[in-house]
Amino acid sequence: MKVVRSTCNYCSIACNFDFHVNDNGFIERVKPAEDYPVNQGFCCVKGLNLDKQNTIHENPVLPLIRKENGEFEHISWKEAFNVFADKVKKIQDKYGKESFAFLSTGQLLSEEMALAGHIGRNFLGGNGDGNTRLCMATAVVAYKQSFGFDAPPYTLDDLEHSDVMIFIGCNPIVAHPILWSRVAKNKNKNKKVIVIDPRKSETAVRADMWIDIKPKSDIRLLYTLANVLIEKGWIDEEFIKNSTEDFEGFKSHVKKYDINDVEEYTGISKGRVLDLAEIIHKGEKVSLWWTMGVNQGFQAVRTAQAIINIALMTGNIGKPGTGANSITGQCNAMGSRLFSNTTGLYGGGEYSDEKRRKAVAEILEIDEELIPKKPTKPYNEIVDGINNGEIKALWVLCTNPLVSWINDLEFKKAAEKLEFLAVQDIYSDTETARYAHLILPSTSGLKKDGVIINTERRLSKIQPVLEKKENELSDYDIMLGIGKALGMGSLLDKWKSPKEAFEVLKKCTKGMPCDITGVNYDELNGSEGVQWPYRKNENIGNNQRRLFEDGKFYTPNRKAKFIYEEIMNPPYDKSEEYPYILNTGRATVGQWHTQTRTREIPDVEAIIVKEGYINLNTDLAEELDIKENDVVKVSSPNGVSNRFLVKLSRTVKKDQLYAPMHYIQANSILPSVFDTYSKEPNYKYVPVKIEKIKGDSYEEN
């Protein structure tokens, strides 16, 4: 029996586990690591069942190619790599470099993301984006604009130090249960947990105060709250003076958000806003936490910055138990943000920065002209580019956009229109794979080697728990094979293994805020992980470190910026035809994204609803003569209607609906609306109408 320490590759908490593997290569036990500082012996049902991957739904070992009759046929890896290279090169020769694009995911390892970016962007010259656009792009842009770099400032320990924790648009009990366990460990007898959410989520039920705002009125509430704090003098004037800029402009801006108007726009009374302001004022260590409920909105970046502004003006940043803290979604979205070579250079920095371009080119030992001169086209423009005929070839890496993309029928049209669609995944039966011309089956994280970066900037190691079978390839192996078939030659000399790739990435971070030149790849094995920055020859001491303890930020003048804007009206609003507001989000702890992995967990499958459903308020259901498990048709202004089962609930208000995102029906009724700056989809707000369907059969449209 051997024991292998590795990292969970589901969510951004990145728990560590000890896998007990017998001599026959079978995992007999999955035990959460008690000495790992992130999960401290705890885990959720997803991590505990990592050994179930590819057991019920096995992936083929060899690639599959679609024949002229539409059927798939196995081919060798060599043939698959040559097909990929031949198809892409012919398409680019005919239509130009940008006729090729790729879409990846925050569940790839850092080295894999970097290699995909090297192939797809540096060598092929195409565009490439990923699931980080769907979940964290808003936080990235908000931090970069406010702090000068994409820098979540906190450590998970801050949840144990705060006396006031404000959760805005997030439900950690379901989405990040290990993070919530830190809240439970907080022994401060005066601690207050406040949840700002239109839905009475599981976290709201456990909170000391639930601020039940109207959908997408959070930015108005935050501006009004800021105005109250300023008017009452409940701000940190010394911190504002020494560490921020444009506070006077922000002060002038929020004056127009009078507390006497707040209830009309947000549904929250003047008295409750005053109570919230007083709680913040009296709190010694106030932390503000947000995730998809903020990020996935039509004015998301400015909403995130409204949160940041409150932390700045009250001096709640850079100290234990404080911070404006975005909670990341996927296990390696932080790695994607730093190393995917899509929206910014390896290690951070802009493509327009000649000094950084030169430094990265020298480290990669490539011609500077190979490095892109501009950020990638974002996800939505890639999908639009396919549908308008500009993009002809697409490489989908370990993601399932036919279900996860907003207005996902648009992606279905794109998949049908492509001349070449290659899908790389640990499952060959995803909704997206059904449209592929070439399927590249990869191994799960149990057979991989590499580094991921969690929500608190902690680097941790994924190690092979099981050995690969004959002809089995990891995502990194597949990418190397593709690169060689494309004729990259010496451009792959520094990318022969994940370890060599990591050394390249380390060098790219030198002198940057995310400097990890002090990290030893091999010493990460079985370690407590390390938060960036960790510079060469640096003695970091405590393994729990937050940023901005010195009040200095990453902007040119080292000051954080107050950023603000006029409040936008929703692109679509309630009307007589569409009188209800639909929200989407996570359903249960055991379900993950499009359920390709969690469908193999028996305990999860035993309790979840199998079909797409909505939560409907009991009073509205009575008014509409709708009962539990009835089937209804939900329609939105984008012209799409879908059938949903009804699950009655008082967690949603009478004029609101909630649809779990894991089912294909949910995203297809959401119109293609995106934040102005981050281009993140607006998954959280659309007006809809409901029609009861006679009979009780369930059919997908």
Same domain assignment for residues 69 and 9? no
Evaluate if residue 76 carries a pLDDT over 90.
yes
CB 563 within 8 A of CB 146: yes
> Looking at the domain assignment, is residue 413 inside a domain?
yes
Model confidence pLDDT, tens digit, residues 470-489 = 999 999 999 999 999 999 99
Same domain assignment for residues 433 and 466? yes
Same domain assignment for residues 339 and 444? yes
The CATH number given to whatever domain includes residue 35 is 3.30.200.210
Q: Which residues of 196-210 are buried (b: 16+ CB within 10 A; e: fewer)?
A: bbbbbbbbbeebeeb
d(CA 511, CA 514): 8
Model confidence pLDDT, tens digit, residues 210-248 = 999 999 999 999 999 999 999 999 999 999 999 999 999
d(CA 628, CA 614): 10
How far is C-alpha 465 from the geometric centre of its chain's CA atoms?
A: 26
Model confidence pLDDT, tens digit, residues 297-316 = 999 999 999 999 999 999 99
d(CA 468, CA 101): 29
Evaluate if residue 457 carries a pLDDT over 60.
yes
> Looking at the domain assignment, is residue 496 inside a domain?
no
164-168 and 192-196 beta bridge pairing: parallel
Of the candidates 449, 465, 489, which is a domain's last residue?
489
Same domain assignment for residues 186 and 273? yes
Q: Sorting pLDDT into bands at 50, 70 and 90, what band is 697?
A: low
Model confidence pLDDT, tens digit, residues 255-266 = 999 999 999 999
Q: Sorting pLDDT into bands at 50, 70 and 90, what band is 178?
A: very high
**Tally: H helices and E strands in the chain:** 26, 26
For 73-139, the DSSP string reads EE--HHHHHHHHHHHHHHHHHHH-GGGEEEEE-TTS-HHHHHHHHIIIIIIS--EEEETHHHHTHHH
Determine phi and psi for 436, rounding to 5 degrees.
-75, 150
First vs last C-alpha separation in the chain: 50
Model confidence pLDDT, tens digit, residues 573-618 = 999 999 999 999 999 999 999 999 999 999 999 999 999 999 999 9
Same domain assignment for residues 296 and 173? yes
d(CA 464, CA 301): 38
Q: What is the mean pLDDT of residues 422-436?
A: 97
> Looking at the domain assignment, is residue 559 inside a domain?
no
Evaluate if residue 656 carries a pLDDT over 80.
yes
Evaluate if residue 113 carries a pLDDT over 70.
yes
CB 220 within 8 A of CB 266: yes
pLDDT of residue 701: 47
Any alpha helices (H) in 553-630, and if so which ranges?
602-605, 618-624
The amino acid at 234? W
Q: Length of the chain in residues, anyone? A: 701
The pair of three-digit structure tokens given for residue 135, joined into one six-digit string: 């979940």
> Looking at the domain assignment, is residue 170 inside a domain?
yes
Neighbour tally for 148: CB within 10 Å = 18
Model confidence pLDDT, tens digit, residues 631-644 = 999 999 989 999 99
Q: What is the mean pLDDT of residues 179-202?
A: 95
Determine phi and psi for 619, rounding to 5 degrees.
-70, -40
The CATH number given to whatever domain includes residue 589 is 2.40.40.20
Q: Sorting pLDDT into bands at 50, 70 and 90, what band is 544?
A: confident
> Looking at the domain assignment, is residue 571 inside a domain?
no
Q: How large is the angle between the packed helices 498-508 and 110-117, nearest 10 degrees?
A: 80
What percent of the chain has pLDDT above 70?
99
What percent of the chain has pLDDT above 90?
97
pLDDT of residue 539: 86
- Give the chain's mean pLDDT: 96
d(CA 482, CA 118): 12
Q: What is the mean pLDDT of residues 349-358?
A: 94
pLDDT of residue 700: 47
CA 315, 318, 322, 328: dihedral to nearest 10 degrees?
130
pLDDT of residue 699: 53
d(CA 123, CA 323): 40
Domain that holds residue 664: 580-692
Q: If you ran DSSP here, which 8-state letter would residue 496 be given?
A: S
Same domain assignment for residues 96 and 163? no
pLDDT of residue 543: 81
pLDDT of residue 695: 59
Number of structural domains (the chain) is 4
Q: Sorting pLDDT into bands at 50, 70 and 90, what band is 694?
A: confident
> Looking at the domain assignment, is residue 561 inside a domain?
no
Same domain assignment for residues 275 and 212? yes
Q: Sorting pLDDT into bands at 50, 70 and 90, what band is 696?
A: low
pLDDT of residue 698: 54
Determine phi and psi for 21, rounding to 5 degrees.
-115, 130
d(CA 405, CA 414): 12
